[in-house]
């Protein structure tokens, strides 16, 4: 009896850690092609283990980027900003040569002023300056775990009040809306200061300098000393990694347990990225 030859399996992605705190590069995957279930599982596992994962050398149309994103969640429109005309779920993130302020240029978790902040985001590099424009990421599991027991007890019952109008994070959104003849809406969301990740069960610090204004039932003045300590603590260098972009690079981060900060050090040059945001749940 002649044996039927078995179909050769596609090689599994190669995941390589890039820093001690978080971050890994994933090699051996063409994101422009449909991914089988096993490859999706490896990528999802890498995201949960490393919190942010990076792909290089990709060639993606907006629809291909969107198809990749749909393997991991539900793409949603970014609040108050328009997507591409041909693909509204892809948000262009652009800094032009004459602009001095970059989009989201402060440590933050994405849109924590929403009732359900995103699960994660994917950012794809279209045009990169000749130098600069890196993005920093910080591990918020470690940010929580390295607090003292006394601080953990203090934070346990607290709820953070997050707003879309903190000046450092809202400046570029205001500029874009003003150019389009629209006004910025005031959005606010209240979330536990320490949240439990719905997939890993680990606890993460969930305040950020970009959006967290105060604690619920506390004044801004009362909240400021504790928040300023946390904002500094949660982005210490040993809790971070740094990604140097190239055209065709894609970063995929877990917004539930990371923060990020795009470095604004490329004045006079253009930077163009395409972003997909994935729907999340209400933090608990």
Based on the structure, what is the number of domains in the chain?
1
Q: Which two tokens stand for residue 258?
A: 């990371």
Residue 226 covered by a domain: yes
Residue 184 covered by a domain: yes
Q: Name the band, by pLDDT with cuts 50, 70 and 90, for residue 222.
A: very high
> DSSP 3-state assignment of 161?
strand
∠ CA(38), CA(41), CA(43), 5° rounding?
115
Residue 122 covered by a domain: yes
pLDDT tens, position by position, 1-58: 444 444 456 678 999 999 999 999 999 999 999 999 999 999 999 999 999 999 999 9
Spatial distance between the Cα atoms of 197 and 213, rounded to a whole number of angstroms: 22
Q: Is the pLDDT of residue 122 over 80?
A: yes
Residue 7 covered by a domain: no
Q: Structure pTM?
A: 0.92
Q: What's the pLDDT at 4?
A: 43
Q: Is the pLDDT of residue 227 over 70?
A: yes
Percent of the chain past pLDDT 70, that is, above it, reads 90
Q: Name the band, by pLDDT with cuts 50, 70 and 90, for residue 166.
A: confident
CATH number, position 248:
3.60.130.10
Residue 3 covered by a domain: no
Kindly list the catalytic residues. Answer: 108, 110, 260, 275
Residue 8 covered by a domain: no
Q: Which two tokens stand for residue 132?
A: 């600069």
What is the domain range of residue 130? Answer: 14-278
**β partners of residue 260:** 108, 137
Residue 206 covered by a domain: yes
């Amino acid at each position: 009896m002649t044996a039927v030859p078995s179909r050769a399996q596609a090689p599994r992605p190669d995941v390589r850690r890039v820093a001690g705190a978080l971050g890994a590069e994933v090699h051996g995957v063409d994101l422009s092609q449909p991914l089988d279930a096993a490859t999706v599982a490896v990528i999802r596992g890498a995201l949960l283990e490393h919190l942010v994962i990076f792909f290089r050398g990709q060639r993606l149309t907006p629809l291909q980027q969107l198809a990749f994103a749909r393997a991991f969640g539900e793409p949603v429109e970014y609040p108050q900003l328009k997507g591409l005309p041909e693909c509204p779920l892809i948000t262009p993130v652009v800094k032009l040569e004459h602009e001095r302020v970059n989009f989201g240029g402060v440590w933050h978790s994405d849109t924590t002023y929403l009732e359900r902040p995103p699960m994660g985001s994917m950012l794809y590099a279209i045009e990169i300056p000749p130098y600069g424009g890196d993005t920093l990421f910080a591990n918020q599991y470690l940010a929580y775990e390295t607090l003292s027991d006394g601080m953990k007890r203090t934070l346990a019952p607290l709820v953070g009040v997050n707003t879309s109008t903190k000046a450092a994070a809202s400046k570029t959104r205001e500029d874009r809306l003003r150019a389009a003849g629209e006004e910025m809406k005031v959005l606010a969301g209240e979330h536990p200061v320490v949240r439990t990740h719905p997939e890993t069960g680990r606890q993460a610090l969930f305040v950020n300098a970009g959006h967290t204004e105060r604690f619920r039932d506390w004044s801004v003045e009362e909240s400021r000393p504790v928040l300023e300590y946390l904002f500094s603590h949660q982005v210490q260098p040993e809790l971070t990694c740094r990604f140097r972009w190239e055209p065709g690079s894609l970063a995929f981060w877990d917004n539930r347990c990371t923060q990020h900060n795009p470095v604004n050090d490329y004045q006079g040059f253009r930077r163009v990225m395409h972003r997909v945001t994935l729907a999340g749940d209400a933090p608990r």
